[in-house]
Structure 1
Amino acid sequence: MFSIPGAAPVTITPAAERQIAKLMAGKDAFGLRIGLKKGGCAGMEYTMELAAEPAPNEEVVEQGGARVMIAPMAQMFLFGTQIDYKTDLLESGFKFTNPNVTDACGCGESVRFEPLEGSRATK
């Protein structure tokens, strides 16, 4: 995992902690798995699913009653991300504040990251 010793790779706000714990209890799940997949206008979309157990090489972040698992291929893109849960008059849902994002689509459903140094996309 791309991390700083003693620091969590992602942070969870109290609102997100409550919602994740509620979802886990409702489905008797080990935790909420977060990741990324190709898609959307900007190129990548966040994924979330409840899971019964962590997969090999997943980073597990526990806070209060919430447990988040970070898929291995997403770890370097999610480092430093804050996970929040927002509720307003028209909608509610998880919000990711990710310092690694370089662009996002207008609807906020997809994001873009700069290619990694030395990857094929930078050559």
Structure 2
Amino acid sequence: MSTDAADAETDPGSTIEVTPSAAEEAISLMRSEGMDVEEGGLRLFVQQGGCAGLSYGMRFDTEPEDDDLIVERHGLRVFVDPASENYIGGSTLDYESGLQAAGFHVENPNVVSECGCGESFRT
């Protein structure tokens, strides 16, 4: 996996990617909430729930936890806890906007099935 000088990882073995549009939208939302984008970041996690068993969660955090994987892409810091990393390693976070819906989407190569609405998954 290649990174450029503007992108850094705390764990060089990490495989979480972020598209430029996802980073731009998240940074914009963080700034609108008065958050420090240098210290804070977007927490991406997996939780139990949904009709397929697991679902993604996202929230902004002011700082990472001690054991978090920290990935920086396009100026956005992404925090992932070790348990979630097992499910989402290799994933790409994207932001899509369209006429019918807009939002963040996780493209996860580990998923073996998703529910019909696409909100939960199984690995």
Quickly name the TM-score band, shorter chain normalised: 0.7 to 0.9
Residue 100 of structure 1 corresponds to 110
- Kindly indicate whether residue 30 of structure 2 is the aligned counterpart of residue 24 of structure 1: yes
| 1:7 CA displacement | 5.1
Residue 16 of structure 2 corresponds to 10
Pairwise CA RMSD: 1.4
TM-score w.r.t. the length of structure 1 is 0.83
Q: Find runs of 4+ consecutive structure 1 residues off by over 4 angstroms.
A: none
Extract unaligned runs of 5+ from structure 1. Answer: 114-123
Q: In 1, Cα distance between the equivalents of 2:90 and 2:28? A: 24
Larger radius of gyration: 1
Residue 98 of structure 2 corresponds to 88
Which of 42, 46, 63 aligns to 1:53? It is 63
Amino acid at match of 2:31: A
TM-score w.r.t. the length of structure 2 is 0.83
State how many pairs are aligned.
109
